[in-house]
Amino acid sequence: MKNPSENTSANVSTNTCGKCGFCLAVCPVYSVLLDEKASPRARIQLIKVFSEGKISSSPLLKELISKCLMCGSCTANCPSEVDHYSQFMKMRSEMIKDHAEPIEIRGLIYLLAREQRLKMAASLARVGQGILPKAFAEKYQLGNIALSKLPDLNSRTFRSQVKKETAPSGKERGTVLYFTGCATNHVFEQTGHATLKLLTHMGYRVIIPAKQACCSIPLLFHGAEKQARENILANIACFDGEGAEAIIVDCPTCGSTLKNEYSPVLERAGKRSDSAQRISRKIVDIMSFVHDRLELLSIDRNKADAAVSVTYHAPCHLKNVFTPSARVLQQIKAIQYLPAEDSQECCGGGGTFFYEYPEVAAVLAGRKINNAQKSGAELWLTDCPVCRINLAGQQRDGKHLGLCHPAEFIATLLE
């Protein structure tokens, strides 16, 4: 394989790394392994010498680059402004050229590359959940998570349950588009219904484009940039040109992808990115949207008098891109917010990370679960569907905290 030594933008970015070690303090993988090879600065140096042709592609190099949650914390906290996230993304693509992903990961990419494939697979999985023997579901695991602890799939896709356009319940204040993502469409329909309820309650007309596809971040994480581009172009066709003031997402990882990844992917392919940039400017996470319009929420007085105690886990792609939902939770009188001491720390979910590196994910999730339980809260809230699956599935002994999206809980408090 030809080394990308001519990629001057990669060299400029990697050359600015001062090896200061700030990234070690915020890297969740390093906090578990305490191994320099598992640190962001080590990965940057490996990318640098690879781009200079001093080392060649190898299975070990692929593993060192891949053993990363892609949380973005190193990039967000780097004093030298090294864009670790983009460098890791590009390097993953380089590694895949020589070293294929395991068959189960390739299968996932195949499904996510076409909405119809994903829809058919979800239908079959739903049937499987209904007939799977309990003993089998409890014995076999996805990473560290027993099949019995995985959430039930929606009986129908969320987008097939709702109208393409939903009018506001009161005075109309504007129009928004809603990118539902794969998780809401196929697994967490209650998040979709809650998001719809919040938006219409606040006076917004909601349009849900029917032909939207996977945001493509799982494909990009695993080097399938060509397949990702097809989904990206399909989503741009759905969301560009509509006269809406915002494009709402309920999954922060989807939101971060639509906001920050579409333009670079198209530019690397030599395509115009004007439409991707227009979309990027309109992407807003649902809780960030609510945060800026709190005065439009009408909370039921009876529920305000009987505050429910909740704790919160901030997903990495939310805290590094959007307004943390904790700011909303702290301002609603019907909520008694009990912060866990590590509410801002990564849970170890990371897309498929909890499946590929379960030993690391188990330690990170275990810390989170322990501190959430110590908070004394009745309910645990988090915005990311993978975080939700990981934290719910990794709970073992003691008190089991129920998890849901903040939008779901707040929607129950409305008049």
**What are the strands, taking DSSP E only, across 220-355?**
246-249, 283-285, 308-313, 335-337
Rounded Cα distance, 99 and 396, in Å:
36
| The residue to which tokens 């030594």 are assigned | 5
pLDDT for 242 equals: 66
User: How many degrees, rounded to 5, is the angle at CA 318 between CA 316 and CA 324?
Assistant: 115
pLDDT for 398 equals: 66
**Sheet with 402-404, edge to edge strand ranges:** 335-337, 308-313, 379-382, 402-404
Domain with CATH 3.40.50.11810 in the chain: 298-412
User: Which are the contacts of 255, defined by CB distance < 8 A and separation ≥ 6?
Assistant: 179, 249, 283, 284, 285, 317, 318, 321, 322
- For the full predicted model, state whether its pTM sits above 0.85: yes
pLDDT along the chain (415 residues), means of 10: 38 77 93 94 94 93 93 90 89 89 91 92 91 88 91 95 95 96 97 98 96 94 90 94 89 94 92 94 96 93 83 91 89 93 93 93 95 95 96 85 96 93
Element (H, E) at 381: strand 379-382
Residues facing 165 on adjacent strands? 207
pLDDT for 35 equals: 93
pLDDT for 1 equals: 35
> Tokens at residue 340, please?
């866990």
CATH label, 8-98, candidates 3.40.50.9100, 1.10.1060.10, 1.10.150.20, 2.60.40.180? 1.10.1060.10
Residues facing 402 on adjacent strands? 379
Rounded Cα distance, 310 and 381, in Å:
7
pLDDT for 10 equals: 46
Domain with CATH 1.10.1060.10 in the chain: 8-98
pLDDT for 8 equals: 38
CATH label, 298-412, candidates 3.40.50.11810, 3.90.1150.10, 2.40.30.110, 3.40.50.620? 3.40.50.11810
Rounded Cα distance, 404 and 308, in Å:
14
pLDDT for 6 equals: 37
pLDDT for 3 equals: 39
